[in-house]
Amino acid sequence: MLNFDNGNSNKNVNQGSNKNNKRNNQTSSIMLEYLQALMSNNRVMLAEINDMKLANEQDVRLIELVNKLWTNDINVKKESFSSLVLGLSTTNKTIAYMLITAYQLIEGNLDEAIEYSVKTKMFLVGTKGLSSEISSLISLHIAILIGETKINDLMKIPTLTTEVTKGYFNYLRALFNPNKKRTSSANSANLANQKLLRDAIASFRKVNNLYLLALAQAKLAECEVEQSEAENLLSSSVEIFETLGRKTELARTQLLLTKYSTTIKAAQRIGGLVYASEKMAQIKQQILDAASCNYPVLIMGPSGSGKELIARAIHENSKRFRKPLIAVNCGVLTENLTSSELFGHIKGAFTGADRDTRGFVGSAESGTLFLDEIGELSRKTQGALLRLIDNSEYQRLGTSVPQKADVRIIAATNQNVAELAELDKAKTGQFEGNGFKHDLFNRFMIKINVPPLSERPEDVLVIINEILIRENAGYLNFDLEAKDYLQKRHYEHNVRELEEVVKTAIIIAKRLKTDTITLEILKEKEEQNPHLHTTVTTALANKFTVTCPTVNYQESMAFFEKRLLEQILKLANKNVSKVIELSGIAKTTLYRRLALYGIKLVEN
């Protein structure tokens, strides 16, 4: 049982003060016992206190306040709260303010929690005991959540005297150490958090504080414990919150349980990837194999399939994880300055080069350089990259002095570079565009082919669940018809397109104030303009006549490409996603081609 000690007992006070203190302490004890009974689901004690004939009006008011806060049955505004605490003694006001602070903290109203926490401290100046300990810990909890806590703040917490406050402090220390992904650097941090939370759980069990026990169990489940333990911890917490009637915490924990029982149970995630299919399980193994060595990696797959997430997962699980991963989109590099941007330059190398620069390669020293859309690099730059891979050296623009580099190369493309490399081998220099050097293609010792989402429909639902969690919409669910539609639907742009569909459905569901996403909601966006796709496709399928002003091949093809892009933009109402879907080219390539022809685009 919680015992309240305001730390102000004084043997030399007068008899009247002794009576007041005795009455206040009795009220305080009743209130904290009542709160402890709520948190422990002690129905016998609740009944005993509710059956008491509380002659003291303060007792009645505090009981009313505790009930309203605990059941989330009150929109606690400053005016209503002020009326509830009006006339209470300092001791009881302290309890009331601690309760309202904790309530606002649980509900995520940090500004209000901070305000009430400051007022609580005012009442506790110079006091010791349980009330002061709890107030200090609540203040620390707020500081952690708003990111204003330093390690020294943890050291300032006074010696704690009860199992409840000791457990609460261990829980907060685990909150202060953020959970990390499964990399070798995070193991010790996660183990430390597990130890803190297990100690907190032991403390809460000793005093039978079910509410704090459920919070600590839910937090422990997120600290990379075994899947079976995570599910057991979360199931127990869900049961406790249901019993206690804690709707807010229940919703959050159910969301976590859904995540662990569907996403992780189905095996799996690595880095930012989440999946349930055997094909992606094979990709995971390739990621781990690539992470165990320093060989160059080439990731091939359609747009939006998760190539960059795979690259990041390789880096995070490799020995280079402490060093930078520099991601470069080769499709948006300025053609004339590509060498400068990649390899750096010295002062005076060209007009405007007023200082030395390291370039992306130099910035990635000892780490990983991720080259997205590598097929967009010119043949000259491909040659320089080949030299970097072969000899671990490169030249900055403006100097012939070679620079040594310790850089892991990971590249990605949505082009068929294998075919381009074969063309390069057969007819070197006799192809359109940049092509892809056969020698460079062979230097990538590890090649990962990412399947499109249409080939792994079993991943769709776990990806949807991940998106809902990320968008704080875990309370939403898809009905069976909607799930079936999403699993069978074709995604031209894979996970990226699925994410757009789900986000749109979330917005519509919120507007309709519904917790269930139906097939009608999924199709609502399409119904707003049902003829868009049909109109564009039909128009392009019919005769699309362009009279070229010249017989020169390159000039004619450029003229045709410009007119084709203008036609697609017009019919798609300059909607970038729709233009990409219809044209089948990457977003970066689209922007570059538009810039080449001087076509302006305002992205919708």
Do 120 and 97 lie in one domain? The reply is yes
Do 338 and 446 lie in one domain? The reply is yes
pLDDT digits (tens, 9 = 90+) for 555-568: 667 777 788 888 88
Do 318 and 260 lie in one domain? The reply is no
Compute, in degrees rounded to 10, the torsion defined by CA atoms 583, 585, 589, 592.
-10
CATH number, domain of 395, equals 3.40.50.300
Whether the Cβ atoms of residue 513 and residue 480 lie closer than 8 Å to each other: no
What is the SS3 assignment for 358?
Answer: coil
Domain that residue 77 falls in:
57-160
Tell me the average pLDDT across 258-286. Answer: 76
Q: Is residue 238 part of a domain?
A: yes
Do 354 and 502 lie in one domain? The reply is no
Whether the Cβ atoms of residue 72 and residue 38 lie closer than 8 Å to each other: no
pLDDT over 50 at 508, yes or no = yes
pLDDT over 50 at 552, yes or no = yes
Q: Is residue 297 part of a domain?
A: yes
pLDDT over 90 at 441, yes or no = yes
pLDDT digits (tens, 9 = 90+) for 124-183: 665 666 666 666 666 666 666 656 666 666 666 767 777 877 887 887 777 776 544 444
Paired residues of 393 in beta bridges: 404
Residue 131 and residue 133: Cα distance in Å, rounded? 5
Residue finishing a domain among 481, 510, 528 = 528
Q: Is the pTM of the predicted complex or chain greater than 0.75?
A: no
Distance of CA 594 to the CA centre of its chain: 33
Q: What is the pLDDT of residue 19?
A: 42
Q: Give exposure, 123-144, as e/b (b: 16+ Cβ within 10 Å).
A: bbeebebbbbbbbbbbbbbbbb
Do 316 and 330 lie in one domain? The reply is yes
pLDDT digits (tens, 9 = 90+) for 283-325: 999 999 999 999 999 999 999 999 999 999 999 999 998 899 9
Q: What is the pLDDT of residue 373?
A: 92
Measured in residues, the chain has a length of 604
Do 524 and 468 lie in one domain? The reply is yes
Q: Is residue 583 part of a domain?
A: yes
Residue finishing a domain among 528, 559, 583 = 528
Residue 488 phi/psi, 5-degree rounding, is -95, -15
Do 426 and 302 lie in one domain? The reply is yes
pLDDT over 70 at 81, yes or no = no
Do 426 and 279 lie in one domain? The reply is yes
Q: Write the DSSP symbol of residue 332.
A: G
Distance of CA 301 to the CA centre of its chain: 24
Do 300 and 393 lie in one domain? The reply is yes
Number of domains the chain contains: 5
Residue 144 and residue 150: Cα distance in Å, rounded? 9
Mean pLDDT score of the chain, rounded to an integer?
76
CATH number, domain of 514, equals 1.10.8.60
Whether the Cβ atoms of residue 136 and residue 101 lie closer than 8 Å to each other: no
β-bridge pairing 269-270 and 273-274 = antiparallel
pLDDT digits (tens, 9 = 90+) for 95-111: 777 777 776 766 666 77
Residue 218 and residue 233: Cα distance in Å, rounded? 6
Q: What is the pLDDT of residue 511?
A: 87
pLDDT over 70 at 77, yes or no = no
Residue 214 and residue 256: Cα distance in Å, rounded? 13
Q: Enumerate the H helices of 41-162 as residue ranges.
A: 43-51, 57-70, 78-85, 90-106, 110-123, 130-145, 151-155
Least confident of 125-139, 317-331, 373-387, 566-580: 125-139
Tell me the average pLDDT across 16-25. Answer: 43
Residue 405 and residue 393: Cα distance in Å, rounded? 5
Q: What is the pLDDT of residue 527?
A: 54
pLDDT over 70 at 93, yes or no = yes
Distance of CA 217 to the CA centre of its chain: 21
DSSP E strand boundaries for 533-602: none
Residue 403 phi/psi, 5-degree rounding, is -110, 135
